[in-house]
């Protein structure tokens, strides 16, 4: 094979892999819960298409199915800024993947960039849950502006978008940008699950923001994935509608992660 041919082959292989199965940002299969009856398994199989349908139509659904010990509570939601097309694709991927990744756990959760899906035999609706978290941070440190200025601006932006997210009409979403320097603009987004009260949403976001200095200190970008809320900031546009004035060309996309689980 000529080098060009090699390159094309790799290129198509990559596209094929991407089309075949979208990789989630993370999952949590709670090993302390087991699918210990076929009825639970059947109820999960029944609730998944309901979660897909509801999310595709409304961007969010919480529902339950079944009776007694095998009753399943399910919640699914898309990030509030994504199109209904992207939402629908995302939640279908989530529903397809979750049982492959968590085959034996009755409490299972899966995160994608555009959506989130979870189910359990326990009624978790309305409860703030930050017990399991994944933090993705850009390995690069901020240099422009200096970290002190950056952290002040980041704090102010997070306060602003958190206070947007708790307004019921905003459906748990807050997003905004701040111009930091002639070369850098900070973009931030927070999203609560829509089953939370105003207080619950504020509580979840406060925990996520409070953990930024621990897991994302001085980092150019970070994501916090909790079961009740999501947070992301970057020095390039990532939320919709995309800021076309700025490009992410040259931005470092090298992220590492921490997974934290408090029993
Ligand atoms: C399944 O597990 C739950 C709790 O994990 C327990 O309450 C229930 O009795 C178990 N059911 C069966 C059929 O073993
Ligand atoms: C799930 O349970 C089945 C049956 O008990 C077992 O064969 C399988 O290895 C388990 N899978 C995982 C990933 O633990
Ligand atoms: C970022 O800063 C931290 C703390 O000062 C340091 O340990 C780390 O090596 C820096 N990372 C890079 C990529 O320069």
What CATH number has the domain bearing residue 115? 3.30.430.20
Nearest Cα to 234, choosing from 170, 172, 178, 166? 178
Q: Which ligand is nearest to the CA of 140?
A: 3
182: in domain:
yes
Domain shared by 94 and 47, yes or no: yes
Given 120, 151, 175, which residue is the final one in a domain? 120
Atom 12 of ligand 1, nearest CA residue: 36
Q: Are 114 and 87 contacting, i.e. CB atoms less than 8 angstroms apart?
A: yes
Nearest Cα to 138, choosing from 130, 150, 129, 149? 150
DSSP state, residue 141: B
Atom 12 of ligand 3, nearest CA residue: 140
Atom 4 of ligand 1, nearest CA residue: 33
47: in domain:
yes
What are the pLDDT tens digits along the chain (263 aa)? 343 333 333 333 333 334 445 799 999 999 999 999 999 999 999 999 999 999 999 999 999 999 999 999 999 999 999 999 999 999 999 999 999 999 999 999 999 999 999 999 999 999 999 999 999 999 999 999 999 999 999 999 999 999 999 999 999 999 999 999 999 999 999 999 999 999 999 999 999 999 999 999 999 999 999 999 999 999 999 999 999 866 665 567 899 999 999 86
Domain shared by 143 and 240, yes or no: yes
Quick check: bond before 241 cis, omega within 30? yes
Domain shared by 171 and 114, yes or no: no
Domain shared by 60 and 158, yes or no: no
Across the beta sheet with 72-78, what order do the strands follow? 26-29, 108-111, 115-120, 72-78, 60-65
Given 69, 94, 120, which residue is the final one in a domain? 120
Atom 10 of ligand 1, nearest CA residue: 36
16: in domain:
no
Atom 6 of ligand 1, nearest CA residue: 69
Domain that holds residue 243: 133-262
Domain shared by 83 and 193, yes or no: no
Residue 254 CB less than 6 A away from ligand 3: no
The count of domains in the chain is 2
Given 97, 120, 143, which residue is the final one in a domain? 120
Domain shared by 69 and 178, yes or no: no
Choose one of 35, 103, 105 to mutate for the ligand 2 pocket test, by most ligand atoms within 8 angstroms of C-beta: 103
Residue 46 CB less than 6 A away from ligand 3: no
Q: Are 248 and 237 contacting, i.e. CB atoms less than 8 angstroms apart?
A: yes
Q: Which ligand is nearest to the CA of 103?
A: 2
Kindly list the protein residues whose Cβ atom lies closer than 6 A to any atom of ligand 2. Answer: 103-104
Q: Are 188 and 177 contacting, i.e. CB atoms less than 8 angstroms apart?
A: yes
Domain shared by 166 and 231, yes or no: yes
**Cα–Cα distance between 58 and 182 in angstroms, integer?**
39
Atom 2 of ligand 2, nearest CA residue: 104
Atom 5 of ligand 2, nearest CA residue: 104
Q: Which ligand is nearest to the CA of 31?
A: 2
Residue 197 CB less than 6 A away from ligand 3: no
Domain shared by 173 and 92, yes or no: no
**Cα–Cα distance between 219 and 233 in angstroms, integer?**
10
Q: Are 117 and 110 contacting, i.e. CB atoms less than 8 angstroms apart?
A: yes
pLDDT tens-digit readout, 173-218 = 999 999 999 999 999 999 999 999 999 999 999 999 999 999 999 9
Kindly list the protein residues whose Cβ atom lies closer than 6 A to any atom of ligand 1. Answer: 36-37, 69
**Cα–Cα distance between 117 and 62 in angstroms, integer?**
10
Domain shared by 143 and 202, yes or no: yes
8: in domain:
no
User: Which atom of ligand 3 is least distant from the CA of 219?
Assistant: 1
User: Ligand 2: distance of its center to the CA of 111 in Å?
Assistant: 22
As a residue count, the chain comes to 263
**Cα–Cα distance between 214 and 209 in angstroms, integer?**
10
19: in domain:
no
Domain shared by 41 and 71, yes or no: yes
């Amino acid at each position: 094979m000529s080098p060009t041919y090699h390159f094309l082959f790799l290129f198509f292989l990559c596209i094929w892999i991407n089309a075949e199965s979208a990789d989630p940002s993370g999952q949590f299969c709670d090993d302390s819960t087991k699918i210990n009856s076929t009825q639970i398994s059947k109820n999960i199989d029944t609730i998944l298409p309901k979660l897909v349908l509801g999310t595709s139509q409304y961007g969010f659904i919480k529902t339950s199915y079944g009776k007694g010990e095998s009753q399943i509570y399910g919640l699914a939601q898309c990030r509030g800024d994504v199109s209904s097309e992207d939402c629908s694709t995302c939640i279908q991927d989530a529903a397809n993947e979750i049982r492959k990744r968590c085959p034996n756990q009755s409490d299972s959760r899966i995160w994608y960039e555009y959506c989130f899906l979870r189910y359990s035999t326990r009624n978790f609706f309305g409860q703030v849950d930050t017990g399991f978290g994944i933090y993705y941070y850009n390995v690069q440190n901020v240099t422009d502006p200096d970290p002190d200025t950056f952290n002040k601006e980041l704090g102010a932006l997070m306060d602003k978008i958190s206070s947007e997210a708790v307004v019921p009409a905003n459906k748990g979403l807050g997003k905004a940008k701040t111009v930091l320097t002639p070369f850098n603009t900070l973009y931030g987004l927070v999203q609560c699950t829509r089953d939370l009260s105003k207080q619950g949403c504020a509580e979840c976001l406060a925990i996520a923001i409070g953990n930024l200095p621990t897991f994302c200190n001085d980092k150019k970008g970070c994501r916090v994935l909790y079961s009740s809320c999501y947070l992301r900031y970057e020095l390039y546009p990532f939320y919709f509608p995309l800021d076309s004035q700025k490009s992410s060309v040259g931005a470092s996309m090298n992220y590492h992660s921490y997974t934290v689980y408090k029993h």
